[in-house]
Structure 1
């Protein structure tokens, strides 16, 4: 049985807390004592794209010279519904980041500040504690490992990260709006 695009989008949208938790774990991995964890929604969206789609993360890390043995992606993850990428208005980046950040800020888990035109995103003390707890839970340990790999190998400026992703995945530029694409199979 194959799911159509509406079914996929509906199933992904139902559990907003998963997206919020993943963003907290990502911010935890990028936490810096000298400044915000992440600067810019564009950078957040691109990093979360790689974190959300393990097959894409794997391909990106391999392109950066990371050993395949160091990349925690299992075969079953390549076949999961979340492995099916959807083209949103601005590419495969979920269009809800502003909403997610507003929810996290309202719950006092993140701070969102502006510096000129750049949005600076950071964890609050409460958010850091929750992200720490999440990153130690069985369901998020692998996500946190991957987020740390992103920090180590893909902590680029937003524009360079975007260029890198489009160079690595040129098919992203040709997707129709709301079209699904699946990255299946080993990229190793």
Structure 2
């Protein structure tokens, strides 16, 4: 994964996917904190990862939302290109090994703060981070992601990371729970 500013060092003949670009992941996480967080803050890496999982895997989200609230209306999002960036099975469920690099990138640019709170970390938008997230949310290119994150917030925003982890293991045991550690989660 490289920053946009470093992509010039890549040979032009190599294909480039958004998944390979640091700022793609940074923008998604800024929006996640802004939309799914409480006052621009998410309490815990586990909660952040699980909310991000439901954002990145719309089919899993719809199944989980239906299990928790059968009356909920499904979103009309196009699921044909559902998973835009894969995650792997980790000790606590879905995880992306790039989180540490992306969070460090955001913190170095003073767009977020990361602070220890009890046995967890609070990841919060800074004032500048909140402004950038609001600007991203208004861009048409992020409209689908923003709508999906609003649905995720409505369904699971008040649940803890542990509750979300347990829900994922309960509902998606074959797809996530029984998958070997480090293996990519597919649907």
**Contact 2:56–2:84 (Cα < 8 Å) also in 1:** no
Count how many residue pairs are aligned between Structure 1 and Structure 2.
169
2:61 maps to which of 57, 66, 91 = 57
Aligned-pair distance for 1:98?
A: 2.4
Cα RMSD (Å) of the superposition? 2.3
- 1:165 pairs with 2:168: yes
CA offsets per residue over residues 92-125 of structure 1, 9 Å max, x none? 3102222221110111111111112221111111
Preserved CA contact (<8 Å) 2:111 2:129: yes
Pick aligned residue for 1:16 from 19, 22, 34: 22
Task: Give the Cα separation in 2 of the matches to 1:32 and 1:86.
Answer: 24
Distance 1:158 1:24, change over 3 A: same
Shift of 1:23: 0.5
Correspondence for 2:144: 142
Q: 1:18, CA displacement in angstroms?
A: 1.1
Q: 1:13 deviation in Å? A: 5.0
Relative contact order (C-alpha < 8 Å, sep 6+): which is higher?
Answer: 1
Q: Retained in 2: the 8 A contact 1:87–1:176?
A: no
Aligned twin of 2:115? 113
Residue aligned with 1:114, SS = strand
Q: Where in structure 1 are there 5+ consecutive unaligned residues? A: 1-9, 184-188
Matched with 1:130 is 132
The answer for unaligned runs of 5 or more in structure 2 is: 1-15
Look up the match of 2:10: none
Deviations 1:43-100 (A, max 9, x none): 111111111112212222222226564424213223x553xx4534434310222222
> Residues 19 and 25 of structure 2 are in contact (CA less than 8 Å); yes or no, is this contact kept in structure 1?
no
User: TM-score scaled to structure 2, two decimals?
Assistant: 0.79
